[in-house]
Amino acid sequence: MGFKGRVIPIGQGNNAFIFPGLGLGAVLSRAREVTDGMVLEAAYALYDYTREHFPERVYPPVARLREVSPYVAARVMQRALEEGVAEEARVQGLALEALLDFVKSRFWEPRYLPYRPAPVI
């Protein structure tokens, strides 16, 4: 059973694509609270990103998560500003592109030490 004869597995788009950007946007904007509007904006941001870059998909590929999260975060911050819950002075009055730059400049880049297996005893 499926949609038009095609099986489509249910994804975890909320966990993988929405929550990281929602949390990052809330933290970077120093939001006093996470509003329903901010949660909804995160979902709309994911939809808009997917529609623009991958119109044939329900979610973007997981490999693009590092591109999606800053965009979602910037949109969440914009919504927090509109709703008056953002307390971070450095983001007050910034347009979406400037918010995206703000997010990207603070986006965590994991750097791992080389792996060396432990000696077998």
Tokens representing residue 23 in the block: 């949390």
The per-residue pLDDT for range 7-43, each reduced to its tens digit, is 766 567 778 899 999 999 999 999 999 999 999 999 9
The per-residue pLDDT for range 103-112, each reduced to its tens digit, is 999 998 888 8
pTM of the model: 0.82
- Classify residue 101 by burial, with Cβ atoms within 10 Å: 0-12, 13-18, 19+: middle
Q: How many residues are given for the chain?
A: 121
